[in-house]
């Protein structure tokens, strides 16, 4: 995720200090990825101490015990803590066990661990009103992306975008809210915070309603074990029960289980690129032979919504214009759902250079199989053309989308009064018949894009090479999709590794 300036966002200062601690472990041969993973165990224990929520952690493994341990004892105590906290026979709390399951330290020198604990303990921690743990972790991922020139491996959604999407979709207590690509829980945490703010921290709700909010309302799937661990940590620190979170592949049969159907609201940023094979679910009938993530995830969202449910989904540009299965999927989307709004996002707001994305806002029809298209018109807001280049020196902020928020209106289903701004403006209306005349291509551009590409400011050979690698991977993915369409089956393309 990207961050405001240090003056406006104290988490940026914290992240910088945490990142500098990496030097303590570099002499142990620790990689950046290993360091970030290691740090999350310590951060979780520290955050539990800060929030005075250590009752589910045995006293000998709490932050205070680690902090007071001698240098000769601290490493052995820490190793034993990681083992025992992940042992269901020793720890009664299932969420703690799930968080620390198979956890292990790569620290070899007790002195280094002692310095790391002391340094973390000496940092100034910011208000828990924000998603402190998520901010710290994802800020470290951003640092790792900048340091390694290769990106962090996953496109975590900028917090500013999460906030805007949640604000527009207006989650309500009593609704089932799902993220089928949950990551570290940014959308779920933000939706939970939004609802708590509207209900005096849920105190306005009955005990039964409160229990639903904390145990059943939020549901998610994450397929990467290390990220799933962080998701559990994040929700635990927000007092949310993890029972409706699964470590699984959404495109496998697990994603079609009952608890991931009939969602009132879906908020998600699915993975992009090749999936390593087509979905293994029987219900994804349109994208069943597509060996990439984005199209099957969109079909999942369409099918997982209850009748009348709504969604806001981040997708790459190719979802708007791909032929074959892509076109068939768009037709299904506009038939079963009211695709009322598309937001064309600026480039440079994700880790990878040149990633071009959009947000689809749609509402499932109240009919199981509508006799005619549920979409009558699509409104497109172009926040990309003429936008400034975003990146390390110019982070993406909520204020950058304020004009879009105003144009979108108050109704989460896109029914607020709207005004077409004509060819000189950013917000345009296109009827379903106009879109059909374009071959159902939704990649509609009317403004001249005078913005600089995100990589125009790159200077070092490593940065330029990383940008070239990103474009090559994108090109190969598009070739693979084309081959799959031509051959009538999925084709896997092995992507080359860039030289370090």
Q: What percent of the chain has pLDDT over 70?
A: 78
Judge contact between 354 and 467, C-beta under 8 A: yes
435, pLDDT greater than 70: yes
pLDDT of residue 152: 39
* C-alpha radius of gyration, the chain, whole number: 23
Identify the weakest region by mean pLDDT among 91-100, 142-151, 491-500: 491-500
User: Mean pLDDT of all residues in the chain?
Assistant: 83
494 — pLDDT class (breaks 50, 70, 90): very low
214, pLDDT greater than 60: yes
- Per-residue model confidence as pLDDT tens digits over 28-50: 666 766 777 788 888 889 888 88
pLDDT of residue 390: 79
pLDDT of residue 153: 42
pLDDT of residue 227: 82
Mean pLDDT of 51-72: 90
Task: Kindly list the distances between the CA atom of residue 62 and the CA atoms of 72, 80, 120, 178, 347, in Å, as whole numbers in the listed order.
Answer: 18, 12, 14, 32, 43
Provide the token pair at 132: 């402190």
Q: Which residues of 439-470 are buried (b: 16+ CB within 10 A; e: fewer)?
A: ebbbebeeeeeebeebbeebeeeeeeebbebb
Judge contact between 382 and 447, C-beta under 8 A: yes
Q: What percent of the chain has pLDDT over 90?
A: 51
Mean pLDDT of 91-117: 87
102, pLDDT greater than 70: yes
pLDDT of residue 26: 66
pTM of the model: 0.82
Q: Which domains does the chain have, with CATH numbers?
A: 10-142 (1.20.1260.30), 154-454 (3.40.50.150)
pLDDT of residue 272: 83
- Per-residue model confidence as pLDDT tens digits over 325-383: 999 999 999 999 999 999 999 987 875 556 789 999 999 999 988 889 999 999 999 99
Which one is predicted more confidently, 174 or 31? 174
- Per-residue model confidence as pLDDT tens digits over 232-278: 888 887 878 878 899 999 999 999 999 999 999 999 999 887 777 88
pLDDT of residue 496: 40
- Per-residue model confidence as pLDDT tens digits over 139-150: 676 666 555 444
459 — pLDDT class (breaks 50, 70, 90): very low
Which one is predicted more confidently, 470 or 189? 189
pLDDT of residue 395: 80
Which residue from 321, 334, 216, 316 is spatially nearest to 271, judged by alpha carbons?
Answer: 316
Judge contact between 218 and 268, C-beta under 8 A: no
Sheet holding 177-179, edge to edge: 245-247, 218-222, 177-179, 263-268, 305-316, 357-364, 337-344, 377-382, 427-431
Identify the weakest region by mean pLDDT among 85-89, 174-178, 265-269: 85-89
Identify the weakest region by mean pLDDT among 90-99, 350-359, 481-490: 481-490
pLDDT of residue 285: 94
How far apart CA 147 and CA 177 sit, in angstroms, is: 35
424, pLDDT greater than 50: yes
pLDDT of residue 410: 97
pLDDT of residue 150: 43
3-state helix/strand/coil string of the chain: CCCCCCCCCHHHHHHHHHHHCCHHHHCCCCCHHHHHHHHHHHHHHHHHHHCCCCCCCCHHHCHHHHHHCCHHHHHHHHHHHHHHHCCCCCCCCHHHHHHHCCCCCCCCCHHHHHHHHHHHHCCCCCCCCCCHHHHHHHHHHHHHHHHHCCCCCCCCCCHHHHHHHHHHHCCCCCCCEEECCCCCCHHHHHHHHHHHHHCCCCCCCCHHHHHHHHHCCEEEEECCHHHHHHHHHHHHHCCCCCCCEEECCCCCHHHHCHHHCCEEEEEECCCCCECCCCCCCCCCCCCCCCCECHHHHHHHHHHHEEEEEEEEEEEECHHHHCCCHHHHHHHHHHHHEEEEEEEECCCCCCCCCCCCEEEEEEEECCCCCCCCCCCCEEEEEECCCCCCCCCCCCCCCHHHHHHHHHHHCCCCCCCCCCCCCCCCCCEEEEEHHHHHHCCCCCCCCCCCCCCCCHHHHCCCHHHHHHHHHHHHHHHHHHHHHHHHHHHCCCCCCCCCCCCC
pLDDT of residue 129: 47
Identify the weakest region by mean pLDDT among 182-186, 316-320, 457-461: 457-461
Which one is predicted more confidently, 130 or 141? 141
Which residue has tokens 């009211």?
338
pLDDT of residue 64: 93
473, pLDDT greater than 70: no
């Amino acid at each position: 995720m990207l961050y405001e300036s240090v003056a406006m966002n104290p988490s940026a200062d914290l992240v910088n200090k945490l990142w500098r601690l990496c030097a303590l472990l570099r002499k142990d041969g620790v990689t950046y990825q290993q360091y970030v993973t290691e740090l999350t165990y310590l951060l979780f224990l520290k955050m539990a101490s800060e929030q005075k929520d250590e009752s589910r952690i045995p006293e000998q493994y709490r932050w205070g015990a680690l902090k007071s341990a001698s240098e000769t004892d601290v490493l052995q105590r820490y190793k034993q803590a990681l083992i025992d906290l992940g042992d269901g026979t020793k720890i009664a709390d299932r969420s703690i066990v799930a968080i620390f399951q198979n956890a292990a330290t790569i620290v070899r020198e007790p002195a280094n661990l002692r310095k790391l604990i002391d340094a973390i303990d000496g940092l100034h921690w910011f208000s828990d009103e924000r998603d402190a743990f998520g901010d710290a972790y994802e800020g470290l991922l951003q640092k790792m992306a900048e340091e390694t020139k290769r990106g962090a491996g996953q496109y975590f959604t900028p917090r500013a975008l999460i906030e805007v999407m949640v604000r527009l979709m207006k989650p309500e207590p009593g609704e089932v809210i799902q993220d089928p690509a949950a990551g570290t829980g940014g959308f779920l945490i933000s939706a939970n915070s939004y609802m708590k703010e509207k209900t005096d921290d849920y105190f306005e709700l009955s005990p039964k309603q409160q229990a639903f909010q904390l145990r059943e309302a939020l549901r998610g799937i994450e397929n990467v074990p290390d990220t799933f661990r962080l998701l559990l940590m994040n929700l635990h620190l927000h007092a949310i029960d993890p029972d409706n979170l699964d470590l699984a592949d959404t495109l496998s049969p697990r994603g079609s289980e009952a608890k991931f159907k009939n969602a009132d609201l879906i908020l998600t940023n699915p993975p992009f690129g090749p999936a390593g094979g087509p979905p293994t679910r029987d219900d994804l009938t349109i994208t069943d032979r597509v060996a990439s993530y984005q199209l099957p995830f969109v079909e999942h969202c369409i099918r997982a919504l209850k009748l009348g449910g709504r969604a806001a989904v981040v997708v790459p540009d190719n979802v708007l214009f791909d032929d074959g299965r892509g076109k068939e999927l768009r037709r299904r989307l506009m038939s079963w759902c009211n695709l009322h709004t598309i937001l064309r996002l600026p480039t440079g707001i994700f880790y990878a250079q040149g990633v071009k994305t959009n947000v689809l806002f749609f509402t499932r029809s109240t009919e199981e199989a509508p006799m005619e298209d549920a979409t009558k018109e699509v409104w497109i807001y172009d926040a990309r053309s003429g936008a400034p280049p975003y990146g390390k020196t110019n982070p993406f902020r909520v204020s950058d989308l304020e004009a879009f928020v105003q144009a979108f209106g108050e109704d989460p289903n896109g029914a607020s009064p709207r005004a077409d701004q004509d060819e000189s403006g950013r917000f345009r209306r296109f009827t379903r018949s106009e879109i059909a005349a374009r071959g159902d291509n939704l990649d509609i551009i009317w403004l001249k894009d005078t913005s600089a590409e995100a990589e125009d400011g790159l200077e070092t050979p490593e940065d330029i090479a990383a940008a070239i690698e990103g474009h090559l991977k994108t090109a190969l993915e598009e070739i693979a999709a084309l081959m799959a369409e031509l051959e009538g089956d999925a084709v896997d393309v092995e992507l080359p590794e860039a030289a370090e």
